[in-house]
Structure 1
Amino acid sequence: MVDGDRQRIDKWLWHARVVRTRSAAAALAAAGHVRINGVRIDAASRPVKRGDVVTVALDRQVRVLVVTGFAERRGSATDAQALVRDETVRPETPPGSAATGSRDTGTGRPTKRDRRALDRLQGDDD
C-alpha cells in the first residue's frame, strides 16, 4: 500500500528494479543485507520514506540508493529511475589498465587449472 509518503522496503526495492522479484527483495531484507539510514533491518515490512538512504549488499557490491519516489505498480525501467537516485561510489580504473582477471582475445575459456590460479590470486580460494 502506498500512502504517498512511505512504502514497504520489499515493494520499493522491487518497484525500483533493484531486484527481480518481490520475494527476492523480502529475502534480502530478512537476511540483513539491507540498511535504512545506516540501521540494519530484519523485516521486509519496514517502511521507507522519501529521502531515506537505502544501502543494499547485492552481488558482491554495496549499492547506496536514495529514495526519491514511490509507485503503485511496477513499471518500466525508465519509470523505475524516477524512484531512486544511485549514489554508489565506484572505484575509477585508470585508462589503459586491464581489468582484473582479463584474458587475451582468442585464448578460449579458462581451464580448471587457470580458474583455480585466478581464484588463488584474487583470494577467493575456499
Structure 2
Amino acid sequence: MSALSSNTPSPKLRADKWLWQARFFKTRGLSAKVITGGHLRVNGQKIAKASHGVTIGDVLTFPQAKRVRVIKVTALGERRGPAPEAQTLYDDLTPEEKPVPKSPGSDGKGRPTKRDRRNLDLMKSSRLED
C-alpha cells in the first residue's frame, strides 16, 4: 500500500441526500426529518445530523412505512435518477417478513350484508327445528 492511498479520504455523501437519491424518501426534507428524529443508524450507531457522511460499505438501518429497512450502500449517486438506477446504489439486507395470517372467520369481505344475515338467521332457525 502506498502512503498516498491511506491519506486519501473515501468519498462521502450527506445521509439525507443519499436516502433521497436512492428513492427511499420522496423529498430530502422527509429524509432529513427521519434522521434528525434519531431514527437512522449507520453501522449500528445512531445518527442525529442529516449532514453525516455516508460512504460505500456503510449499513443503514431506518424505518420506512411499517417496516424497518436494512440497507448496505454499494455506490454513491451522482443524481436522483429513475428507480432502476437508484436500485443500483444499495443492497437490501432487510429480513423477509412472514405474512400475518388473516383472522379466522374473516373472508376479507368486512361486515356481513343484509343477505348474509338473513341466511345466517335461516341456518340458525333450521338447526333449532331439528
Contiguous gaps of at least 5 residues in structure 2: 1-8, 112-130
Distance 1:101 1:33, change over 3 A: farther
- Over the matched positions of the two proteins, sequence identity in percent amounts to 39
RMSD value over aligned CA atoms? 2.6
Counterpart-to-counterpart distance in 2, 1:46 and 1:102: 50
CA 1:81–1:100: 2 relative to 1, 3 Å:
farther
The corresponding residue for 1:12 is: 18
Shift of 1:92: 2.9
1:21 aligns with 2:24: no
The reply to whether residue 74 of structure 1 matches residue 80 of structure 2 is yes
Alignment of 1:1-126 (within 5 A): 5-93=11-99, 98-99=101-102, 103-107=106-110
How far the C-alpha of 1:89 sits from its partner, in A, is 0.6
Q: Kindly indicate which of the two structures has a greater share of residues assigned to helix.
A: 2
Structure 1 segments, 4+ long, off by >3 Å, are 97-103, 105-108
> For each residue in 1:25-58, what CA deviation from the matched residue of structure 2 results, as whole angstroms up to 9, or x when unmatched?
0111000010000000000000010000000122
Q: Is the 8 A contact 1:4 1:70 kept in 2?
A: no
Q: Is the 8 A contact 1:33 1:58 kept in 2?
A: no
Partners of 1:31 and 1:18 lie apart in 2 by 16
> Shift in Å at residue 87 of structure 1?
0.3
